[in-house]
Amino acid sequence: MLNVALPKGRLGERAYDLMARAGYECPELLAGGRKLTFENERAGVRYFWVKPSDVPIYVERGAADVGIAGKDILLEYAPEVYELMDLGIGKCRMCVAGFQDWRDEGDRDLRVATKFPHIAKAHYAEKGRDITIIKLNGSIEIAPLLGLSDVIVDIVETGKTLLENGLAPLETVADISARFIANTASYAFHYDEIRSMCERLGEIL
């Protein structure tokens, strides 16, 4: 039996859809309710719904053998896991965004509001630009509007949130999509099962 960590929410539902089509269905999982774990003994899988940013924690520590996590989460937390496949779902971009006409004068620390401090720090360290991180937990787009930050580093999917708040993407930091990840020890112990899962996923992608 492989333990599979799925990210709660829309991405998780799409990821489960791929798993089901690959032969790892567990219909009970879509029934709604508050239950968080589901198993299909015949298919050899036990799923559990976790907060998207917690998926790498479960997988890194071996509580889950495999899981599905956004590349944004993997870049931010840099867990020691194997990234086995790009599932091609949940596609979006990590961007620097701000007012369209905003220019960096470079005369003081750049104030960057974000849910992704490590990604933001790494991006500006590469450019040699000093910044101050303002760590927020959501609704990041408000920060430049209220003068809390100069720019934001955040996920842009359709661009609607930026547009409707008078902001624009200024720079792409990374392309994001969902990745199939595995615990390093599980990958050795359950090599055949995990490889076969990858192959079956590969066939339906």
Q: Which positions lie near ligand PRP, rule CB under 6 A? A: 138-141, 154-161
Secondary structure (DSSP) of 35-47: --EEEETTTTEEE
Cβ(58)–Cβ(160) below 8 Å: no
φ, ψ of residue 168 to 5 degrees: the values are -145, 150
Beta carbon of residue 96, minimum distance to ligand PRP (angstroms, whole number) = 13
Give Cβ neighbours of residue 191 (< 8 Å, ≥ 6 apart).
Answer: none
CA 57 to chain centre: 13
Beta carbon of residue 141, minimum distance to ligand PRP (angstroms, whole number) = 6
Beta carbon of residue 195, minimum distance to ligand PRP (angstroms, whole number) = 33
Q: Which amino acid is at 81?
A: V
Question: Looking at beta carbons only, is 147 or 158 nearer to ligand PRP?
Answer: 158
- 92-98 and 151-156 strand pairing: antiparallel
Beta carbon of residue 153, minimum distance to ligand PRP (angstroms, whole number) = 10
Beta carbon of residue 156, minimum distance to ligand PRP (angstroms, whole number) = 5
Question: Looking at beta carbons only, is 53 or 196 nearer to ligand PRP?
Answer: 53
Beta carbon of residue 3, minimum distance to ligand PRP (angstroms, whole number) = 26
List C-alpha distances in Å: 59 to 43, 133, 181: 20, 28, 8
Question: Looking at beta carbons only, is 66 or 95 nearer to ligand PRP?
Answer: 95
CB atoms within 10 A of CB 51: 13
In the chain, what's the furthest Cα-to-Cα distance?
Answer: 63
Question: Looking at beta carbons only, is 69 or 201 nearer to ligand PRP?
Answer: 69
Q: Where does 48-137 have alpha helices with state H?
A: 55-60, 71-77, 117-127
Question: Looking at beta carbons only, is 175 or 203 nearer to ligand PRP?
Answer: 175
Closest CA to 101 of 151, 148, 142: 151
Question: Looking at beta carbons only, is 11 or 182 nearer to ligand PRP?
Answer: 11
